[in-house]
């Protein structure tokens, strides 16, 4: 792909002409170029961030793409018209709470463009938002250029989903994506679509915004750990983490069996990266690059050892702001038409210019915008910093409705034991009959069938599987959606079944009863007796999670929740 073909037609023809014209005559007017042999191109200078912006935009667009893809595939079943927690009901509740108005109060409580749309077909709205997001993010991902309008659209679209997503969107990485995406808006020119918008160099304020973000993420994660759980202090957390993390992968299965001293070493390294390395950001260019390298390496290790959604991929994004053009040059081919060459030109023009570039009004407005951004972020950071310093630090919280500056933290405490909720169904007319055969439903990715290999899906994410992990240390009363799911399984509802991997009643009439069972899960020992039988997990029943239920038992419950009762299946008499 030639870069010039990718520079999207700028709205002003003059800009494009200027660019082409500049590239034509500049080699002749650059005496220094002649000194460089053709096969060893001149090195990029430090301190400019043209390539950094392209890498940042592409990385951010990739995360948005994954996030909107998850939304497109799962939203209808989770929050659609017949979803497990319909977003229409949620918005109606918000509206009622604020006395039936869709006024300012409701808007700030749940900022979403859903308020402006017609609610008669929420599935359509959800798909529309997700598809727009997919379209814009793929454009930025492929071309590497963006403007403020596109980046604002991505941010507003994703915000619109997060704020109607309820518990399914309650994870820290959703706010983190919104905050990263908000900063991303200020990376690009307002309107021009160009990979190298010469009049808008990457703003230092925005770069420091990203660095401040990664600083808070890492330090927050480090502090919540040493304050939250004894195992982070006696260095035993990693003895448990691989087995008890939300959605383990096959590599975690083996890492779990690392020698004890290795687990201690891992925990110590974690503290080093989260508590000490963040301060490298303030120690000059070299240390900043070292910071970027260490943080990215750390996230790559986390990606390999678990399915934490797109969280670790997203955490790489702000670290990219640690690298300048000289550090990122290796990512770009150095052809005669290449971006690297163009950046070299810009750098030369800047160093050779005797008098400073005349500033036009656009530049001035730009500066005002950037400085306002800096002040806004600083102002919104006050409660975040107070929280970081407080001994009662809370994690993953936003202090403002637009989630612009948030507080983060992950795995403040590590569960020491893994339990799972297993949904089972039976066709037996009598659920308490000893000869009733109960068959397991399998989720897409969470542990269930002990023989099934753990999955590897990061950066993709199954929201239902993740919440099943939380549900396992709570009760079904705290997770009403699980009864909604049970009702849908009793009716053989295809939308709900699409959230699962295996329906044991596939091709048969749906079960008469569904129950939830609570199990304890442990990894089998590689090479041990269970592993040689092909088992990845060993499980032991703890007790019931929710009692056997029929569709008719749920009628009243569904009515009070305003969920439509699924059509009972037509049953063949046997």
Ligand X SMILES: *[C@@H]1O[C@H](CO)[C@@H](O)[C@H](O)[C@H]1NC(C)=O
* Contact residue for ligand X among 432, 560, 570, 573 (CB under 6 A): 432
Q: Residue count at the site for ligand X (CB under 6 A)?
A: 4
Provide, rounded to whole angstroms, the least separation between the CB of residue 429 and ligand X: 7
Provide, rounded to whole angstroms, the least separation between the CB of residue 548 and ligand X: 11
Binding to ligand X (CB under 6 A) within 73-132 occurs at none
The number of beta carbons lying within 10 Å of the beta carbon of residue 199 is 14
**Is the distance from CB of 462 to CB of 309 less than 8 angstroms?**
no
Nearer Cβ to ligand X, position 343 or 551? 551
Contact between 573 and ligand X per CB under 6 A: no
Provide, rounded to whole angstroms, the least separation between the CB of residue 436 and ligand X: 8
Sign of the CA dihedral with 58 first, then 170, 467, and 521 last: positive
Nearer Cβ to ligand X, position 382 or 433? 433
**Is the distance from CB of 444 to CB of 467 less than 8 angstroms?**
no
Map 64-82 to HEC letters. HHHHHHHHHHHHHHHHCCC
Q: In angstroms, rounded to a whole number, what is the distance separating the alpha carbons of residues 186 and 205?
A: 9
Beta-carbon contacts of 284 under 8 Å, excluding residues fewer than 6 positions away, are none
Binding mask 388-427 for ligand X (x = CB under 6 A): ----------------------------------------
Nearer Cβ to ligand X, position 101 or 430? 430
Q: Which is nearest to 145 in space by CA: 64, 54, 56?
A: 54
Nearer Cβ to ligand X, position 333 or 429? 429
The number of beta carbons lying within 10 Å of the beta carbon of residue 197 is 22
Question: Would you tell me the crossing angle of helices 311-319 and 204-228 to the nearest 10 degrees?
Answer: 130
Piece in contact with ligand X (CB under 6 A), picked from 18-26, 402-410, 432-440, 512-520: 432-440
Nearer Cβ to ligand X, position 370 or 428? 428
Contact between 433 and ligand X per CB under 6 A: yes
Provide, rounded to whole angstroms, the least separation between the CB of residue 432 and ligand X: 4
Piece in contact with ligand X (CB under 6 A), picked from 208-216, 276-284, 430-438, 565-573: 430-438
Instruction: Name the β-bridge partners of 60.
Output: none
Piece in contact with ligand X (CB under 6 A), picked from 49-57, 245-253, 429-437, 442-450: 429-437
The number of beta carbons lying within 10 Å of the beta carbon of residue 111 is 17
* Contact residue for ligand X among 108, 390, 430, 474 (CB under 6 A): 430
Provide, rounded to whole angstroms, the least separation between the CB of residue 407 and ligand X: 53
Contact between 276 and ligand X per CB under 6 A: no
**Vertex 430, ends 429 and 435: CA angle to 5°?**
105
Nearer Cβ to ligand X, position 9 or 433? 433
Number of H helices, E strands in the chain: 24, 8
Instruction: Name the β-bridge partners of 443.
Output: 500
**Is the distance from CB of 307 to CB of 455 less than 8 angstroms?**
yes
- Positions that interact with ligand X (CB under 6 A): 430, 432-434
């Amino acid at each position: 792909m030639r870069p010039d073909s990718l520079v999207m037609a700028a709205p002003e023809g003059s800009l494009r002409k200027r660019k082409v014209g500049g590239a034509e005559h500049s080699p002749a007017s650059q005496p220094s170029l002649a000194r460089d042999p053709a096969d060893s191109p001149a090195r990029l200078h430090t301190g400019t961030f043209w390539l950094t912006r392209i890498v940042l935009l592409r990385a951010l667009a990739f995360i948005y793409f994954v996030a909107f893809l998850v939304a497109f595939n799962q939203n209808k079943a989770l929050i659609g018209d017949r979803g497990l927690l319909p977003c229409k009901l949620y918005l109606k509740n918000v509206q009622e709470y604020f006395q039936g108005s869709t006024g300012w109060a409701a808007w700030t409580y749940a900022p979403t463009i859903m308020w402006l749309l017609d609610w008669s077909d929420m599935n359509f709205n959800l798909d529309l938002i997700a598809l727009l997001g997919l379209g814009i993010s793929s454009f930025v991902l492929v071309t590497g250029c963006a403007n403020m309008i596109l980046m604002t659209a991505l941010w507003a679209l994703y915000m619109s989903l997060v704020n109607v997503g309820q518990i399914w969107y309650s994870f820290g990485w959703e706010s983190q994506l919104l905050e990263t995406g908000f900063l991303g808006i200020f990376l690009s020119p307002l309107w021009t679509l160009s990979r190298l918008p010469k009049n808008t160099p990457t703003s230092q304020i925005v770069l420091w915004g990203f660095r401040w973000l990664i600083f808070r993420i890492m330090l927050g994660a480090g502090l919540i750990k040493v304050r939250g759980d004894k195992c982070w202090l006696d260095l035993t957390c990693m003895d448990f983490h691989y087995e008890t993390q939300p959605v383990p992968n096959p590599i975690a299965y083996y890492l779990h069996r690392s020698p004890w001293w290795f687990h201690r070493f891992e925990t110590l390294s974690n503290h080093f990266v989260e508590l000490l390395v963040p301060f490298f950001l303030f120690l000059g260019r070299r240390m900043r690059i070292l910071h970027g390298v260490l943080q990215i390496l750390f996230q790559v290790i986390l990606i390999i050892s678990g399915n934490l959604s797109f969280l670790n991929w997203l955490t790489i994004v702000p670290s990219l702001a640690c690298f300048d053009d000289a550090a990122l040059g290796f990512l770009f081919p150095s052809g005669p038409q290449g971006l690297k060459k163009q950046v070299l030109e810009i750098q030369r023009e800047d160093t050779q210019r005797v008098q400073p570039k005349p500033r036009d009004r656009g530049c001035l407005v730009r500066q005002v915008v950037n400085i306002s951004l800096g002040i806004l972020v600083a102002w919104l950071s006050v409660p975040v910093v107070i929280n970081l310093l407080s001994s009662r630090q809370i994690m993953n919280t936003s202090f403002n409705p637009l989630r612009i500056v948030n507080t983060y933290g992950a795995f403040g405490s590590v569960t020491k034991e893994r339990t799972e909720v297993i949904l089972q169904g039976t066709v037996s007319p009598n659920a308490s009959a000893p000869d009733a055969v109960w068959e397991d439903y399998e989720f897409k990715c969470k542990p269930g069938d002990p023989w099934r290999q753990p999955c590897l899906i990061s950066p993709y994410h199954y929201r239902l599987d993740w919440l099943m992990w939380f549900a396992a240390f709570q009760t079904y009363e705290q997770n009403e959606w699980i009864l909604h799911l049970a009702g849908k399984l009793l009716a053989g509802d295809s939308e709900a079944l699409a959230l699962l991997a295996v329906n044991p009643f596939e091709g048969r009439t749906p079960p008469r009863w569904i129950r939830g069972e609570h199990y304890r899960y442990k990894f089998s020992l590689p090479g041990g007796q269970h592993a040689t039988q092909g088992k990845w997990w060993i499980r032991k029943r703890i007790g019931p999670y929710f009692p056997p239920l029929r569709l008719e038992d749920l009628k009243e419950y569904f009515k009070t929740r305003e969920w439509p009762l699924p059509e009972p299946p037509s049953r063949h008499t046997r």
